Amino acid sequence: MRDRGKNGDDAGGNELTGSGSSPRVTPRQAQILDLAAAGLSDKQIARRLRVAHRTVRTHFENLFMDQGIRNRSQAIAIWSRRPTQGHKARPADECPYPKPFPPGFVECPAYEATQMVTLDISHRPLGAVWTCRHLESRLMPNTDYRWYGACAIGDAEARRRWSAAIGADRLYEISQLRQEVSAVSGPYIQRLIELKRAEQSEARPGVGQMQGVVDEFMTEMMRLLQSRKAVLDELHLPLRAVLQLVRVAIDRFVEQGLSEPEWEVPDEVLTQFPDDIRSYFRPRQAGDGRDKLDHTDGETA
């Protein structure tokens, strides 16, 4: 055990990081402390790292014994204010959660579950994994090649503001509705992928085949969304605007496929939604604190 200061405080408050440049914690302890500092409970940390709850507790107990730390809160406080010499600070907008996100993930208030289709070098689908609608790749500052997983909304505070502005209950209901839409659209997307793949071979299908699939898809979407109109109204999502958004999305997929980067809702579609829901479709601007359709500076969002 280490000596205490005059007031009973830890005399070596930075002992977790050591007196030199290298931390006096194991890599696993560093992972646990990072997640604890992000606000996760021991059980949540155990799920993220896929270890037993008791394993997390044992690591903390070892820290208490080896470093003379009184409790979990003190360990987090010391870790959070550790010096960063030799370690570049991580970007504030970096997503702190392990990927891929597991089903039922709820730790982040702004998490919007979506399935990402992975492709091979020939742009053929390999499978799908759960990801977040807001997760994107960004270049690490002051590097030419290092990338990190960033949140389009911004840092932790921006995510909390965005979630609070829309409302946790409304976000949950929208997420449920999106899953219904995904379940219906999946088979049609697969058919379009197959047709687009054939289009690149000698046996080119007629444009009418793809258009026929799109028409069937929109008919099915109309049926689904009309049956859920009461829910749409409650969420401030006008049926006509949602249908137009779906049409824009499917047309864009037919034209550009899965390999194209994410896109933003066009202004002409966004203006059909009430003001209080627009930040849902433009989370990046919401995180920056900018008005979604402010053209006074001469730029378009």
Q: What is the pLDDT of residue 231?
A: 96
Q: Which residues of 7-26 are buried (b: 16+ CB within 10 A; e: fewer)?
A: eeebebeebbbeeeeebebe
Instruction: Kindly state the average pLDDT of the residues 98-121.
Output: 79
Residue 123 is predicted with a pLDDT of: 56
In this structure, of 1-5, 48-52, 276-280, the range with the lowest mean pLDDT score is: 1-5
33: left (phi over 0), alpha (psi -120 to 50) or beta: alpha
CA distances from 72 to 19, 28, 68, 76, 131 (A): 21, 16, 12, 6, 31
Mean pLDDT of the chain: 78
**pLDDT for residue 92 is more than 80:** yes
Out of 20-24, 39-43, 267-271, which region has the weakest mean confidence (pLDDT)?
20-24
Q: Name the percent of the chain lying above pLDDT 90.
A: 34
If pLDDT is split at 50, 70 and 90, which confidence band does 22 have? very low
Q: Is the pLDDT assigned to residue 184 strictly greater than 70?
A: yes
| Structure confidence by residue, pLDDT tens digits, 223-261 | 999 999 999 999 999 999 999 999 999 998 888 765 555
Cα 68 to Cα 4, 75, 83, 92, 157: the distances in Å are 9, 10, 19, 30, 32
Least confident of 14-23, 135-144, 212-221: 14-23
pTM for the structure as a whole: 0.61
pLDDT at 13 over 50: no
- For residues 113 and 180, give the distance between their C-alpha atoms in angstroms, rounded to a whole number: 12
Give residue 15's pLDDT: 52
Greater confidence (9 vs 143) lies with 143
| 204, pLDDT greater than 70 | no
